[in-house]
Structure 1
Amino acid sequence: MSGKHAVDCYESLDEQVALVTGATRGIGATIASDLTDLGATVYAGARDTDDITEPDQRAIRLDVTDESEIETAIDRIADEVGQLDILVNNAGVFYRSGPLHEMSTDEFDHTLEVNLRGPTLVTKHALPLLLKQDGARVVSLSSNLGQFSQGQMGGGYPPYRISKVGLGGLTAYLHAEYASEGLIASAVSPGWVRTDMGGSNANRSPKEGADTPVWLSRFKPGSVGGRLWRDRTLVEW
Structure 2
Amino acid sequence: MEPNVLETLEGDVALVTGANRGIGREIARGLVARDATVFGGVRDPSYDLPDGVEAVELDVTDEASIESAVEEVVESAGRVDVLINNAGVGGDGDGIVALATDDFDRILDVNLRGPTLLSKHALPHLLETDGGRIVNVSSGVGILTEPIESEMPAYRISKAGINALTVSLDQTYGSDGLIANAVDPGWVATDLGGSKAPREPQKGAETPIWLARFGPGSPSGLFWKDKQTIEY
Aligned-residue Cα RMSD (Å) equals: 0.9
| Superposed counterparts of 1:30-49, under 5 Å | 30-49=26-45
**Whole-angstrom distance in 2 between the partners of 1:205 and 1:222:** 31
Given that 2:25 and 2:50 are in contact with CA atoms closer than 8 Å, whether structure 1 keeps it comes out as no
**Whole-angstrom distance in 2 between the partners of 1:109 and 1:94:** 12
Normalising to structure 1: TM-score of the pair? Answer: 0.96
What 5-or-longer segments of structure 1 have no aligned partner? none
Given that 2:2 and 2:219 are in contact with CA atoms closer than 8 Å, whether structure 1 keeps it comes out as no
Residue by residue over 1:112-143, the C-alpha shift from the partner in whole angstroms, topping out at 9 and shown as x without a partner, is 10000000001100011100001111000000
What 5-or-longer segments of structure 2 have no aligned partner? none
> How many Å apart are 1:52 and its aligned residue?
3.1
**Whole-angstrom distance in 2 between the partners of 1:126 and 1:167:** 16
Normalising to structure 2: TM-score of the pair? Answer: 0.98
Q: Which of 185, 191, 214 pairs up with 1:190?
A: 185
Verify: 1:171 aligned to 2:166, yes or no: yes
Aligned residues: 232
| Superposed counterparts of 1:150-161, under 5 Å | 150=146, 152-161=147-156
Given that 1:46 and 1:52 are in contact with CA atoms closer than 8 Å, whether structure 2 keeps it comes out as no
> How many Å apart are 1:55 and its aligned residue?
3.6
Find runs of 4+ consecutive structure 1 residues off by over 2 angstroms. 52-55
**Whole-angstrom distance in 1 between the partners of 2:144 and 2:152:** 13
Q: Which deviates more from structure 2 when the two are superposed, residues 45-54 or residues 216-225?
A: 45-54
**Whole-angstrom distance in 1 between the partners of 2:56 and 2:178:** 24
| Superposed counterparts of 1:191-206, under 5 Å | 191-206=186-201
**Whole-angstrom distance in 2 between the partners of 1:26 and 1:81:** 25
Given that 1:146 and 1:162 are in contact with CA atoms closer than 8 Å, whether structure 2 keeps it comes out as yes
Residue by residue over 1:67-93, the C-alpha shift from the partner in whole angstroms, topping out at 9 and shown as x without a partner, is 111111111112112211100000000
Query: Percent identical across equivalent pairs?
Result: 48
Name the SS of the counterpart of 1:49 in structure 2.
coil
| Superposed counterparts of 1:131-142, under 5 Å | 131-142=127-138
Name the SS of the counterpart of 1:177 in structure 2.
helix
The amino acid across from 1:180 in the alignment is: S
2:63 corresponds to:
67
**Whole-angstrom distance in 1 between the partners of 2:2 and 2:195:** 34
**Whole-angstrom distance in 2 between the partners of 1:226 and 1:209:** 20
**Whole-angstrom distance in 1 between the partners of 2:212 and 2:97:** 39
The amino acid across from 1:131 in the alignment is: L
Residue by residue over 1:195-220, the C-alpha shift from the partner in whole angstroms, topping out at 9 and shown as x without a partner, is 00000000100000000000000001
